[in-house]
C-alpha cells in the first residue's frame, strides 16, 4: 500500500513545485496553471480514494469468503450428523 501512496505523493509534490513556478509566469498563464493544478490535484485525490475503496472492498470480500467457508464447514458437519442419524434408523417393514 505504501508503494501506491508514494507515486501520488510525488505527483502532489510536483504540483506544489509547479505552483511555485507559476508565480513567475505571465498573469494570463498563471490563472490557467492554477486551474490545471486544481484539476490535477482533485484527480490525484480521486485516485487515492478509489484505491482505498478497492482495498476496503477486497477486505470485505475476504471476510465474506472466510465466513462462507466457515458456514460450509458447519453445513458439512450437520450433513454428517444427519447421515449418521439416518443410518441408525432401523428399516421399516411395510408389508408384514
pLDDT in tens, the chain (96 residues): 455 567 877 887 888 888 888 888 888 888 888 888 888 888 888 988 999 999 999 999 999 999 999 999 999 999 999 998 888 888 777 766
- Biggest distance spanned by C-alpha atoms of the chain: 108
Q: Please give the DSSP secondary-structure letter assigned to residue 89.
A: S
Cell of 94: 411395510
- The structure's pTM equals 0.59
Calpha distance 64→60 (Å, rounded) = 6
Q: Using CA atoms, how far apart are residues 4 and 9, in angstroms rounded to an integer?
A: 9
Amino acid at each position: 500500500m505504501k508503494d501506491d501512496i508514494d507515486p501520488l505523493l510525488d505527483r502532489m509534490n510536483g504540483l506544489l513545485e509547479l505552483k511555485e513556478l507559476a508565480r513567475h509566469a505571465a498573469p494570463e498563464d498563471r490563472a490557467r496553471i492554477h486551474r490545471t493544478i486544481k484539476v490535477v490535484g482533485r484527480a490525484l485525490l480521486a485516485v487515492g480514494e478509489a484505491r482505498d475503496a478497492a482495498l476496503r472492498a477486497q477486505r470485505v470480500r475476504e471476510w465474506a469468503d472466510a465466513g462462507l467457508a466457515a458456514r460450509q464447514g458447519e453445513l458439512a458437519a450437520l450433513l454428517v450428523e444427519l447421515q449418521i442419524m439416518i443410518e441408525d434408523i432401523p428399516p421399516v417393514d411395510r408389508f408384514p
